[in-house]
Structure formats: structure tokens, C-alpha cells
Amino acid sequence: MGHDMSLSSASKTETASQKDANMQWGGRFAGGPSEIMQAINASISFDKALWKQDIAGSLAHAAMLAHVGIISKDDETAIRNGLTAIGQDIEAGRFEFSEALEDIHMNIEARLSDRIGEAGKRLHTARSRNDQVATDFRLWVRDAIDGVDQQVASLMRALARRAEEHAADPMPGFTHLQTAQPVTFGHHLMAYVEMLARDRGRLADTRKRLNECPLGSAALAGTSFPIDRSMTAGLLGFDRPTANSLDSVSDRDFALEYLSALSIMAMHLSRLAEEIVIWCSSPFSFIRLSDAFTTGSSIMPQKRNPDAAELVRAKTGRITGSLVSLLTVMKGLPLAYAKDMQEDKEPVFAATDAATLSLAACDGMIRDMTANTKQMRALAGSGYSTATDIADWLVRVLKVPFRTAHHVTGRLVAKAEEKGVDLADLSLAEMQAEEPGITDDIYSVLTVEASIASRTSEGGTASTNVLREARKWQEALAADAPSTSANSAAQ
Ligand code: ARG
């Protein structure tokens, strides 16, 4: 908003007394707020993002007021036409938001009264800004959940498609970022599909719990007017009205749940992003990002930098920061509403922007990347990655206890390391020196392909498993058409 903080506070205090009292609540005030008061108090600079939800809430409230006879049908018609026109003005950028009117609720209500007079002044009967903002914000978060959910589904589709393509392409699997056992690239990508599916589940749970309507709780105690809360809840697509008026106006746990779900999702995205950074580094060279998702260096002409992935990794900080910020605002607040809660919106808006951009960037990177399957295959067999397969062979064929087999294999690895060769390059005599029962058959499990093909246990990396999973998910996600809501999160 660019408040000029270079003004001395003395001069600000002077201007204050010359100001008019707030036209919405200033009945008992002789003068207006100081500029500093206005600057710290006003939320219009950011809560104007709630305009659609605010109008929707007011339309439902007015319809209900008319239905139960608290206002006349004519007043309701005037309110509806007035709010519709205001919505069109805001949409077209013709609406001038006023900081003196503090927030989106009073900006819209004041303009309505300007336009339609008396009827507009009846709209605030049997409600308060406290239940109004709680309703608007739930509606906004609900929409945000639906938007994010669709993006997550799209990223899952992209991952599953690439996984199907690479269901049989070996890559080194890591633990401690040390080569552990061969896996397929498809299997690795499908791991993220599972994570994102749980993220969708968390968003869907959040949506279910938030879908109760606070409208009609009024300031904190409910109202003496004979309102119909089920009607407003229904008109706004809520499952039911909230049960306790104090709780309704004073909790923001729905926003916190949303931010928690986003934070966990962002953590997943940052891990994917980090892997992309590693994979496209030249020593690894597992993938190449498209030009569309790469930047150059202003000094080193050879560089292709994965800036988008790095920024996805970094934006996690904003999202997690938003969660911590709102948790800190809410902790220790006595019931019911306190103005602290006005600080609930910016973290939610910021986290949503960051999540939306991060999901789009991941989607683009995954769709466009080229896998260097040769390089991955070459490294999949390095670092004695099939050592576990030798141990398993000793257990399966010679019935050696696993712990003993582990030791024998360890000695074989040491021998290979000493000679500077792969396990498959050790002669049968060298192997038998460690375990006389070993036969030629052991060489059949030493290849990367055999190792992968043998991992057929449920959830294992065998290509047949990966292919089945990748196809299953693509089918499930295709059925989950882009227009469906988070409620139908594919499981
Ligand atoms: N702008 C306020 C907010 O976002 C609206 C509610 C104001 N309520 C009040 N009692 N001052 O929290």
C-alpha cells in the first residue's frame, strides 16, 4: 500500500482528528482514526481477494433474510441487483477500494448502500463481520483446495505417464545417496505418485471438515432473529451449519489444516526438485531438462541451470513459513474473535500462490524432461549394487542363514574391490574360496536386469509391477476428470 512512514507520528496524529469517523461503525466516534491506526487496521489491500466469496455470502444471507421475512422481497431484489453490479465493477477493475473502509466486507456493503440506499443498510441484519469473514475465508480455502487438487492430479498423471515409459529402464537406487540396489526409473517416479496421492487425501479430508457454514453465528453469540442457517449453508454449498457460534467465529483450524497439507505436499515437491537438481547435474547426467525449464549462466556459456527446480525446493520455505506464521497468530487467543485473526489471510494466499507455481513447474519439468537411460543403466550396476542378490542366492540355494550370507558376500565385495573389478568378474574359483557351495548359477543373479526382474514382491521394482501400477494410476486419474472436486480424490 506504500504508507509513507517518513511522516512523523505527531503529524499523523494531527491529521487523525480532522478525519471523519468510519461510516460503517463510527456512530459513537467523534473523529477518525490516525493514519497509523488506519494503516495497521486496514486489510483491504489483501482481503479484496475475497470479493467473490463475500458477494456470494451476502447473496445467500439476503435470500435467507427475505425467505424468513426479516427483509422484504423487494429489498432482496434490490440487494441482489446491487451486489451483482458491484461484482461486475470489481471484475472489470472499475471498483475503487477504500482503505478508510478497512476491509472487503465494509467496502462492498458501503458501496451497496450508496447504490441502493435503505435496502443496502438492511443487509447486515442478523450477521456480523465475524461470521461473514469466517464464511468468506472458508469458501476461499475450499476453492483453493479444489484448484490445488486438480494440479496435483495433473502432476500425478505426468509422473505415471513417464513411469510407464520407463518401467523397464534401470537406474541406481540409493540409500544415503550411496548406490544401494538397482531399481527402475519408472519405479522411482511412481514413488512420487504415491506421495502426491496422500497429499490429495489430506486436502480432501481438510475440505470435508471445513465444509460447515459459520454464517448466522453473528458476532459471537448467535442472533435473536429467526434465521434459517441450513438455508444459507445449502445455498453456499456447505454440508451443514456449524454447531457452536463461539467456535465458528474464532477458529481458523481449517486454514491451518490446509496449510499443513500444503506444507507436507511442498516437502514432497522439494524432494522431487532436489532429485531433479541432482539428476541433471553433469556428474550424474540422468536426465536433461527442456530449454523451457532451464536457464543459462550470464558468465559460463556451457551452463544449463535447473532454476525452476531450485525455486520449487526453496518455495517450500514460504509454505511452511505460512503454516508457522498462522499457528503463531492463533496460539493463545482467547475466544471469540480477535483482530489478530485478520492476519490469517496473507499466509494462506502466499502459500497458495507458491504451491500453485511449484506444482505447475514440476508438471512442466516432468513432462518435458529427457531421460538418459544409457547413463542410468551404466551406473545402476556400479558400486556392487547386486551384492544383496548374491546374499539372497546363498540363502535361497544353499540355505545359508542370511547373516552368514551377508558376511560371505562382504568378503566377495572386498575381493572385487581389491582387484578393481565388478562382482560378475570374479572367477568361480575365487567365489568358491569364500563359500565352496557356490556354483555357476550365481552369475545369473549378478546382472542389473536379473536383480530388477527378481524384485516381484508387492510394491517391488520389477518392471511388471511398475507397468501395472503406472497403468492403474493413469486409468484412475483419467476417470477423475479435471472438473471433479477434491472429494473424489483418487485413492
Ligand atoms: N477484516 C476483518 C478480518 O479479517 C473482518 C472481521 C472484523 N471484525 C471485527 N470485529 N472487527 O478479521
Summarised one tens digit per residue, pLDDT across range 103-146 is 999 999 999 999 999 999 999 999 999 999 999 999 999 999 99
pTM: 0.90
Query: What are the residue ranges spanned by the domains of the chain?
Result: 40-123, 134-379, 384-477
Give 352 Cα–ligand 1 centroid separation in angstroms: 22
State residue 372's pLDDT score.
Answer: 97
Question: Is residue 67 flagged as an active site residue?
Answer: no
Pick the residue with more confidence: 51 or 5? 51
pLDDT of residue 482: 57
Q: Is the CATH number 3.40.718.10 carried by domain 40-123?
A: no
Q: Label residue 121 exposed, middle or buried (CB < 10 Å: 0-12, 13-18, 19+).
A: middle
- Backbone φ/ψ region at 188: left (φ over 0), alpha (ψ -120 to 50), beta: alpha
What is the Å distance from ligand 1's center to 96 Cα?
Answer: 20
Distance from the alpha carbon of residue 466 to the mean position of ligand 1, in angstroms: 52
pLDDT of 176 higher than 50:
yes
Residues 22-79: pLDDT tens digits?
A: 777 777 777 788 899 999 999 999 999 999 999 999 999 999 999 999 999 999 999 9
Q: What is the pLDDT of residues 446-468, one digit of tens each?
A: 999 999 999 999 999 999 999 99
Average pLDDT in the chain: 92
**Range 342-367 average pLDDT:** 98
Q: What is the pLDDT of residues 78-115, one digit of tens each?
A: 999 999 999 999 999 999 999 999 999 999 999 999 99
Of 239, 358, 375, 346, residue with least CA distance to 310: 358
Cα(4)–Cα(136) distance, rounded to whole angstroms? 31
Determine the distance separating the centroid of ligand 1 and the alpha carbon of 372, expressed in angstroms.
Answer: 55
| Domain 384-477 is found in CATH 3.30.460.40 | no
337 CB near ligand 1 (under 6 Å): yes
Q: What is the pLDDT of residue 136?
A: 98
Output the residue whose Cα is nearest ligand 1's atom 7: 129
Q: Is the pLDDT of residue 199 over 70?
A: yes
Catalytic residue among 11, 17, 281, 297: 297
- Please state the atom number of ligand 1 nearest to the C-alpha of residue 341: 12
Confidence of residue 421 (pLDDT cuts 50, 70, 90): very high
Residues 6+ apart with CB under 8 A from 167: 184, 186, 187, 463, 466, 467, 470
pLDDT at 21: 72
C-alpha cell at 396: 535361497
278-to-162, 315, 317 alpha-carbon distances in Å: 18, 18, 20
Q: How far is CA 351 from the centre of its chain?
A: 8
Ligand 1 near 342 CB (within 6 A): yes
- CB distance 53 to 136 below 8 Å: yes
* CB of 320 shorter than 6 A to ligand 1: no
Summarize the confidence of residues 246-264 as an average pLDDT. Answer: 98
- Stretch 322-334: mean pLDDT: 98
The span from the CA of 398 to the CA of 379, in Å, is: 30
Reported for 172-178, long-range contacts at CB under 8 A and 24+ positions apart, including other chains, are 172/376, 172/379, 172/380, 172/382, 172/383, 172/385, 173/385, 173/461, 178/383
As a whole-number percent, the residues of the chain with pLDDT over 90 amount to 85
State yes or no: pLDDT of 484 exceeds 70.
Answer: no
In this predicted structure, the answer to whether residue 268 has a pLDDT above a threshold of 90 is: yes
Beta bridge partners of 212: 240
The whole-number average pLDDT for the span 406-429 is 94
**pLDDT at position 491 over 50:** no
CA pair distance 491, 428, nearest whole angstrom: 49
Q: How confident is the model at residue 3 (pLDDT cuts 50, 70, 90)?
A: very low
CB of residue 477 inside a 6 A radius of ligand 1: no
Whether the CB of 43 sits within 6 Å of ligand 1: yes
Query: Which residues, 6 or more positions from 43, have their beta carbon under 8 angstroms from its beta carbon?
Result: 102, 103, 104, 342, 345
CB-count burial class (<10 Å; 0-12, 13-18, 19+) for 259: buried
Is-catalytic flag, 407?
A: no
Question: Using H for helix, E for strand and C for coil, what is the string for the chain?
Answer: CCCCCCCCHHHHHHHHHHCCCCCCCHHHCCCCCCHHHHHHHCCHHHHHHHHHHHHHHHHHHHHHHHHCCCCCHHHHHHHHHHHHHHHHHHHCCCCCCCHHHCCHHHHHHHHHHHHHCHHHHHCCCCCCHHHHHHHHHHHHHHHHHHHHHHHHHHHHHHHHHHHHHCCCCEEEEEECCEEEEEEEHHHHHHHHHHHHHHHHHHHHHHHHHHCEECCCCCCCCCCCCCCCHHHHHHHCCCCEECCCHHHHHHCCHHHHHHHHHHHHHHHHHHHHHHHHHHHCCCCCCCEECCHHHCECCCCCCCCCECHHHHHHHHHHHHHHHHHHHHHHHHCCCCCCCCHHHHHHHHHHHHHHHHHHHHHHHHHHHHHHCEECHHHHHHHHCCCCCCHHHHHHHHHHHHCCCHHHHHHHHHHHHHHHHHHCCCHHHCCHHHHHHHCCCCCHHHHHHCCHHHHHHHCCCCCCCCHHHHHHHHHHHHHHHHHCCCCCCHHHCCC
- Ligand 1 pocket, mutate which of 47, 326, 342 (most atoms under 8 A from CB): 342
| Binding site membership of 133 for ligand 1 (Cβ less than 6 Å) | yes
Contacts of 47 (CB under 8 A, 6+ apart): 103, 104, 133, 342, 345
Residue 481: predicted pLDDT: 57
CATH numeric code, 134-379: 1.20.200.10
